[in-house]
Structure 1
Amino acid sequence: MRKESFDRASLEIVNFFNASKQQAYTTNDIQKIFESQREQWKIAQYRNYKHFITFLNNNRILILDTQNHEFHNSEKQILRKKSCTPFDVGLTVKKDGYLCNYSAMQVHQLTLQIPKTVYISEDKYEPYYENSNIELEQESVDKAFSKPQRVSRESYKSEYDGFRYVYLQKKHNSINIGITTMNGLAVTDLERTLIDIAVRPAYSGGAFQILEAFNKAKGKLNLDKLDSYLQKLDYIYPYHQLLGFYLDLAGFPEEKLKLYLDKKSHINFYQTYNLTNKKLNQKWGVFYPTGLEAL
């Protein structure tokens, strides 16, 4: 009996994916591979890339991972190697993206937690020309931070391993500040990671996990680089005093904190959104949850 063309080319297909360093593939990636290789593999004309995906999954050359959107009826399909990690999957979906927030904390060993959510972001250039001369008022800050933090609705859950994938887009005056590569993964560097987790605590495990990260960063953190990144990112809110608050609680020397204290604004800022049982740190002008200072 004559073999089906995929079966005849099976060894070549296996060797192709074994030789590739890529750990995961979108269906679009698979379609491009199929179209570029089908002639060499002598695949029958009536076969298409969807048949190819079925063949790869049925023969466990790659494993089909279906991700279901958590807020509406849509899905993503990823083909992954057995050695593939959730980080590889997330960065395959967002090819220009990078690991951020809680995921970056894991890469930099700033947390002992192993969350089953992967955070991937990409930066979008959006100048703040119209906001550059805005004078913040305490009332508007109080109102903004009295509500829960808005979170991304671009969120999927994997049927393969139960991991959640949250895809973010961060808008800045300057993009790709502090993005590096570690172990082949695009990720925020240490300084950018600490900024991101302070700015968006809901993606970072909350106040106590963030303070633990600042504690673990001692001896490795470059405070001048941290300040430089904050200036380039050019936030409207006074994140210098929030970063100084964390650095102070983590025990950084007082002389190192002067750079941040000198930039303290007249605004009493917030460690996170929708705070209850809060206290005010007068030195830094930051409201924080009761008990945080005792960590």
Structure 2
Amino acid sequence: MRRAQIEIAKPCIITFFESQKQKVYTLDQLDSLLAKQREEWKLGKSMTVHKFTAFLVKETKLSEQPLPFPYRKTIRYFWGAPPLYELAMSLRPTGYLSHYSALHYHRLVPEKPITTVYVNDEQEAKGGKRGTLTQARIDAAFKRPVRTSRNCVQYGGITLCLLNGMNTDMLGVVKEYLPDLSMPLLVTSIERSLIDSVVRPVYAGGVATVLNAYKHAVGNVSIQNMVKMLKQLKYVYPYHQAIGFYLDYCGGYDDTVIGLFRKFPMKYDFYLDYQMEKTNYTKTWRLYYPSYL
């Protein structure tokens, strides 16, 4: 019985995939790959990408991985066991690791196995006027639950969470080149990671974890760059009070650099986190913080 051409080409196809650094594919990428290799593998036009992937899933180490995100179901194809960061980058090619994922990458949190990966894909720039800040509005906002992304999915005991952060024009996002990745890893710098974690501690493991990250960052972070970055981000809320508190409270930072945050105006009382039950108050930073810290 005559063998199908794809059966004949199977060893060459396997050799090809084994030689590639890339381990995570979309269907479109496999379609492009098939188009480029079709002639070499002598596969006719009747061999569609769907037939091609079905054969590979059945006959090789290619596997199909459904990722049922609530807002858009996604499928990825793995050649073997892919690096977690490659999977993360494939979900949002213009996105970047942020919050706890970035703290973990920079070794600012305990090096235990990561359980949640945050990929931030910035929104388009928005115009319009911002609301006027008042003490009453701050109090009301921080008494409510913090808004969090529901666009998450479980994969191999890990939660993959997609965020849609405000447009910053990729401020403080750096490219890292890792030996096991087929593309650069985009991740927030130490300075940007520490700022983001103050803005959304829920994505950074909570305020105790954020405090610990500030402790571990001593000697590895440029406070001057943080100040510059914070001014560029133009937040409505006075997050400089929370950042100054962390720098002051954790110890290890020179009073001169802490003083850079004291130069910001402090017109309002502020909060370290949302919906805190028992709190203490610091007059220095006009800030409420959890009593357990």
The TM-score with structure 1 as length reference comes to 0.90
Opposite residue 139 of structure 1, the aligned amino acid is A
Alpha-carbon separation, structure 1, partners of 2:280 and 2:124? 36
Partner of 1:171: 166
Q: Say if 1:124 and 1:175, in contact at 8 Å, map to a contact too.
A: no
Task: For 1:199-218, list aligned pairs within 5 A.
Answer: 199-218=199-218
Alpha-carbon separation, structure 1, partners of 2:206 and 2:260? 26
Opposite residue 213 of structure 1, the aligned amino acid is A
Opposite residue 287 of structure 1, the aligned amino acid is Y
Opposite residue 121 of structure 1, the aligned amino acid is N
Alpha-carbon separation, structure 1, partners of 2:248 and 2:49? 56
Partner of 2:289: 288
Alpha-carbon separation, structure 1, partners of 2:255 and 2:159? 40
Q: CA deviation at 1:4?
A: 2.1
Partner of 2:79: 81
Partner of 2:118: 119
Partner of 1:105: 103
Q: Indicate whether 1:153 and 2:147 are aligned.
A: no
Q: Say if 2:12 and 2:41, in contact at 8 Å, map to a contact too.
A: yes
Size of the alignment, in residue pairs? 285
RMSD: 1.9
Query: 4+ runs of 1 displaced by more than 4 Å?
Result: none
Q: Say if 2:224 and 2:257, in contact at 8 Å, map to a contact too.
A: no
Structure 1 window deviating more from structure 2 (282-291 vs 136-145): it is: 282-291
Q: Indicate whether 1:20 and 2:20 are aligned.
A: yes
Alpha-carbon separation, structure 2, partners of 1:10 and 1:58? 12
Alpha-carbon separation, structure 2, partners of 1:128 and 1:274? 30
Structure 2 residue runs of 5 or longer lacking an equivalent are 179-183
Q: CA deviation at 1:149?
A: 1.1
Structure 1 window deviating more from structure 2 (211-220 vs 14-23): it is: 14-23
Structure 1 window deviating more from structure 2 (9-18 vs 200-209): it is: 9-18
The TM-score with structure 2 as length reference comes to 0.90
Opposite residue 121 of structure 2, the aligned amino acid is E
Structure 2 vs 1, CA of residues 264 and 114 (structure 1 numbering), >3 Å: closer, same or farther?
Answer: farther
Structure 1 residue runs of 5 or longer lacking an equivalent are none
Q: CA deviation at 1:115?
A: 3.1
Opposite residue 291 of structure 1, the aligned amino acid is Y
